[in-house]
Amino acid sequence: MDHRLSSEYSDLRAVVEQFAHDVIAPVAAENYENHSFPYDIVKQMGEMGLFGLPFSEDFGGMGGDYFALCIAIEELARVDSSVAITVEAAVSLGAMPIYLFGTEDQKREWLPKLTSGTMLGAFGLTEPGGGTDAGAARTTAHLEGDEWVINGSKSFITNSGTAITGLVTVMAVTGTKDDGSKELSTIIVPAHTPGLTVAPAYSKVGWNASDTHALFFDNVRVPRANLLGELGRGYAQFLQILDEGRIAIAALATGLAQGCVDECVRYSHERQAFGQEIGKFQAIAFMIADMEVRAHTARLAYYDAGSRMLAGEPFKRQAAIAKLHASDAAVTNARWATQVFGGYGYMNEYAVARFWRDSKILEIGEGTNEVQRMLIARDLGI
């Protein structure tokens, strides 16, 4: 029994920590303020192989695993959640479906670019009328000759409108099953396909330096061969992607929770009040101690889910627990960190203000926390 990282993971953690500190931290506030997507950072992360972490070397990957990706995401999120979610979405939602479900030709065509970070992929699932209720999808695709014709719209799609976005994998209704329910399938739509409109970037509460758009499909035509995996397997594919994705989001939330501790520990020494460092006041010291407890237990929760995943064992409940607990830790730590910083914590130029605004989405994305509770309860046989 050893829940600590092996030396490969801990070396990776150290490298990403250094990169985040040296390269991302100095520009994070500016990118956030300007809502500018950090192309230069993406390029450097591509060179480091962060976009290829869980993929085999056959397709330009690093030959690592999904847990290595989670470790990297945690370290990125300690400094900048926008960068962390850009990597998470590009790998977990952009490249992974093609890696898991794609044909040899699809993998050869897309993966080398996606795993090197020179191209970003996006996953079009959520619609204006349904996120949690994915079965409510109204986007349709039907065959005309050798082409899929896609109509509908998608909401909140990460990495879908950057200058290096190469594809969107779209979940669409492709027919009706025998039991009358919708048959859902996923189809690869290359960027700039005629009829695909990328709406202007959303004005979001947080994650300002990440790229999020609504997408509209108006008679978008792609080759029949762009079907990803089997016809009618779209829903099953998406559930599989999301189970892993929850561990990654838990890692991201853990990073944010830890980032709050890092900032507060530093500030508790710097800031003086009533003639002493504010860390000398028990009110502040205890807050930071509790924040560390949350970050630490969040990390243990996602390590646990990760180790089960790597061992090939069921991990659905543990992933849900990790995502629920870590996002809770992130939101609470961000709120408390802002409190420790007082008025400065409310100023956008301070990292804790960014953390505060970035934290809320973690209770919503990759399955809302209510969905996590449902999954846990169901797994307990309730």
Partner 1 sequence: MKIAVCVKQVPDTWAEKRLRPADSLLDRESAEGVLNELDEYAVEEALKIQEAHGGEVTIVSMGPERAVETIRKALSMGADAGIHIVDDALSGSDALATSAVLAGVLKDRGFDLIIFGSESTDARMSVVPAMVSERLGLPQLTFAQKVDVNGGTITIERQTDYGFDSVEASSPVVVSVVEKINEPRYPSFKGIMAAKKKPLETLSVADAGVAAGSVGTGAAWSVVADFAARPPKAAGTIVNDEGAGGVKIAEFLATNKII
The DSSP result for 156-201, as a single string, is: EEETSSSTTEEEEEEEEEEEE-TTSPEEEEEEEEETT-TTEEEPPP
**Per-residue tokens: 315:** 């991990």
Stretch that binds partner 1, among 13-21, 95-103, 147-155, 195-203 (CB under 8 A): 13-21
Site map (CB under 8 A) of partner 1, residues 65-104, x = contact? ---x------------------------------------
Comparison of 265 and 374: residue with beta carbon closer to partner 1:
265
Structure tokens at 221: 């035509």
Q: What is the 3-state secondary structure (H, E, C) of 221-286?
A: EEEHHHEECCCCCHHHHHHHHHHHHHHHHHHHHHHHHHHHHHHHHHHHHHCEECCEEHHHCHHHHH
d(CA 319, CA 375): 10
One character per residue 239-278, x = contact with partner 1 (rule: CB under 8 A): ----------------------------------------
| Positions in 25-54 near partner 1 (CB under 8 A) | 44, 47-49, 53
Is 12 a binder of partner 1 (CB under 8 A)? Answer: yes
370 contributes a contact to partner 1 by CB under 8 A: no
The residue type at 99: Y
CB of 378 to partner 1, least distance (A): 35
Which residues partner with 222 through β-bridges? 148
Helix (H) or strand (E) holding 147, with range, is strand 147-158
Window contacting partner 1 (CB under 8 A); options: 61-69, 143-151, 225-233, 310-318: 61-69
Q: For residues 355 and 82, is the Cβ–Cβ distance under 8 A?
A: no
Q: Among 101, 7, 82, 12, which Cα is nearest to 52's?
A: 12
With binding defined as CB under 8 A, does residue 8 bind partner 1?
Answer: yes
Point out which span in 62-70, 266-274, 331-339, 371-379 binds partner 1 (CB under 8 A): 62-70
Instruction: Report the DSSP beta bridge partners of residue 187.
Output: 170, 227
**For this structure, is 183 an active site residue?**
no
Site map 121..150 versus partner 1, x via CB under 8 A: ------------------------------
* Nearest CB to partner 1, comparing residues 90 and 134: 90
Instruction: CB nearer to partner 1: give 12 or 173.
Output: 12
Annotated catalytic residues are 366
- The residues binding partner 1 (CB under 8 A) are 7-8, 11-12, 15, 18-19, 44, 47-49, 53, 57, 62-64, 68
